[in-house]
Amino acid sequence: MYRFKAETFVRGIEHLQLVQGDTAWTEDNESRSLIVTTLGRLLDASNEIGLALSTKSLRTLIEYLNLPNPKASVAKRFAEDAQGRLTDELELQPFYRLTVNAAALYEDALPFGDIVGKQFPSVTFDISEATKCLALQRPTAGVFHLMRVMEAALRAVARTLQDESVDPAKNPTWQRILGRFDAELAKPLADRTERWRADDPFFSGIAAHLRAVKDAWRNETMHVGAKYTDAEAWDIWNHVGSFMRHLATKIGE
C-alpha cells in the first residue's frame, strides 16, 4: 500500500499549469528553480504509485527546464503532455481515504503501548495487523488477529505454572490450559505454585478473564460464519489492549 501524497499532486499540477500559462519564469532563474523542485517531487510521487507514463513525461519536462535557455513554447507542450498523462492515469487509479484518526492508528507501530511491545514482542505483528484491519474497516479480520494476541497471553500465563502438561511448546488447547488454571485455583492457597500463591488476586482475575474471552469471542471467531461489526471489533480491540497492558505489568514472554 502506498501513502498518496495529495498535496504534492496539487502543488505539482499548479506548477504544470504555470508553465503552460505564464512566460515570466523564463526570465527568472529562482522561479524556474522552484518549478523544477516542485515538479521533481511530483515525479517522485508519480513514480512511487506506478504512474509510468506520467513519470516519463515529467522527467522529459524537467530535463528540458534544466537546459540553459528553455523556450516557453516548447516547455508548454511538454507540460500539457505531462498534465494530460497524469490526468488519464489518475482516472484509472482507485484511491481510498482514511480519517485522520484511522490513519494515525494505521501507522502506529505499538498501538497497545511500549510496555506490551517490550513484554510481548512476538505479538506486535498481530496487534499491528489487528489495528490496521480495524482502521480499514475489516472488523472480522481484526478480531481474528486479536484472538491470536490473546492466545499468546494465555500461553504466557501457562508458563508461570511450570507444568509440562501445558507447555506452550507442546501446543496445548485453550481448554486444556484453562482447565489447568481452574485446577490450580481450586487448591488451597498454600498448595499453589509460588507465583500464583504470592499474587492470588492477579492470577485469579487473569484466569477468569481468559475463560470469558474464550466463551465470548474466541469460540465464535473460530467458526466460519462469525462476523463482527466495526463497533463490536473496536470494543474487543479496546478490551484486549487494556488486558494486555495489565498483564504486561507482571508477565512477559
The model's pLDDT over 143-191, given as tens digits with 9 standing for 90+, comes to 999 999 999 999 999 888 888 888 777 777 888 888 888 898 899 999 8
The whole-angstrom separation of Cα 126 and Cα 128 is: 5
Mean pLDDT of 98-125: 93
Same-domain check for residues 83 and 11: yes
Looking at 91, 108, 138, the residue that finishes a domain is 91
Kindly state the percentage of the chain with pLDDT values over 90: 61
The whole-angstrom separation of Cα 5 and Cα 46 is: 9
Q: Could you give the number of structural domains in the chain?
A: 2
Per the confidence metrics, is the pTM higher than 0.85? no
Mean pLDDT of 67-81: 94
pLDDT at 113: 95
Same-domain check for residues 192 and 154: yes
**Cα-based distances in Å from 190 to 155, 161, 199:** 24, 15, 12
Q: Is residue 46 part of a domain?
A: yes
pLDDT at 224: 60
When pLDDT is cut at 50, 70 and 90, the band that residue 215 belongs to is confident
pLDDT over 90 (residue 226): no
Q: Is residue 253 part of a domain?
A: no
**Residue linked to cell 499549469:** 17
Same-domain check for residues 225 and 119: yes
**Cα-based distances in Å from 84 to 56, 57, 78:** 12, 10, 10
Looking at 91, 124, 153, the residue that finishes a domain is 91
Same-domain check for residues 200 and 137: yes
Q: Is residue 241 part of a domain?
A: yes
Mean pLDDT of 14-27: 89
- Residue 132 domain boundaries: 100-248
Q: Is 111 within 8 Å of 245 (Cβ atoms)?
A: no
Cα 192 to the center of its chain, rounded Å:
41
Q: Is residue 1 part of a domain?
A: no
Looking at 71, 91, 111, the residue that finishes a domain is 91
Q: Is residue 78 part of a domain?
A: yes
* Grid cell digits, residue 215: 466463551
Same-domain check for residues 122 and 231: yes
